[in-house]
């Protein structure tokens, strides 16, 4: 059964709840707050239950900080969130969405992302905090066309 979420752009006041979801999902905080303009949050039952964002570099973007409350995983919320993020990125002129993951390659692979060599990512993304040490070198790099 799909959980119904109210999705909206993230606001600075959301940061404490975003931080809590990222920490609970063991995702890095470094650099996330400075990209809140490209974050989407999902609310249900009066609280944030999923979040995600991206760092935009021209026509490419780095998807990051995608987290769903542990009690809602497997309910379709992550897919709904990903659809919202793809729509936002596409509306801002992004044609390719990249990501690094240590745990969710299967989830993203089933949703149109392909594994690539880390060296195949654009130079601007490789200069991001995610690539420069926030995510381990063992993280899987993936890309999807929008």
- Residue range 18-45: average pLDDT? 92
Residue 4 pLDDT exceeds 90: no
Distance, in Å, from the CA atom of 108 to the CA atom of 115, rounded to the nearest integer, reads 9
Q: Tell me: the pLDDT tens digits for 96-133?
A: 999 999 888 999 999 999 999 988 999 888 888 777 76
Quick one: how far is CA 33 from the chain centroid? 13
Q: Tell me: the pLDDT tens digits for 50-85?
A: 999 999 999 999 999 999 998 888 888 999 999 999
Domains: count for the chain: 1
> Is residue 25 a part of any domain in this protein?
yes
Which domain range does residue 107 map to?
6-145
Distance, in Å, from the CA atom of 48 to the CA atom of 21, rounded to the nearest integer, reads 8
- Residue range 23-49: average pLDDT? 91
Both structure tokens of 75: 């309910």
> Is residue 46 a part of any domain in this protein?
yes
Q: What pLDDT, on the 0 to 100 scale, is given for residue 54? A: 96
Quick one: how far is CA 139 from the chain centroid? 14
Q: What pLDDT, on the 0 to 100 scale, is given for residue 133? A: 66
Q: How confident is the model at residue 134 (pLDDT cuts 50, 70, 90)?
A: low
- Collapsing DSSP to helix, strand or coil, 24 comes out as helix
Q: What pLDDT, on the 0 to 100 scale, is given for residue 125? A: 86
> Does the model's pTM come out above 0.95?
no
Q: How large is the C-alpha radius of gyration of the chain?
A: 14
Quick one: how far is CA 26 from the chain centroid? 13
> Is residue 128 a part of any domain in this protein?
yes
Both structure tokens of 79: 């897919």
Give me the CATH number covering residue 46: 3.40.630.30
Strands (E) located in the chain = 6-9, 39-44, 47-57, 60-68, 96-101, 114-116, 140-145
């Amino acid at each position: 059964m799909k959980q119904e979420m109210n999705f909206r752009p993230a606001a600075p006041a959301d940061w404490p709840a975003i931080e809590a979801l990222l920490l609970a999902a063991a995702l890095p905080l470094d650099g996330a707050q400075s990209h809140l303009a490209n974050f989407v949050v999902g609310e249900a039952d009066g609280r944030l239950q999923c979040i995600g964002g991206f760092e935009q570099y021209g026509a490419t973007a780095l998807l990051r900080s995608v987290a769903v409350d542990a009690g809602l995983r497997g309910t379709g919320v992550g897919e709904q969130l990903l659809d919202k993020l793809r729509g936002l990125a596409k509306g801002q002129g992004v044609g390719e969405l990249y990501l690094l993951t240590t745990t969710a390659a299967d989830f993203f692979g089933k949703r149109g992302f392909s594994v690539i060599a880390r060296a195949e990512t654009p130079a601007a993304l490789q200069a991001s905090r995610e690539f420069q040490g926030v995510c381990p070198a063992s993280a899987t790099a993936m890309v999807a066309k929008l």
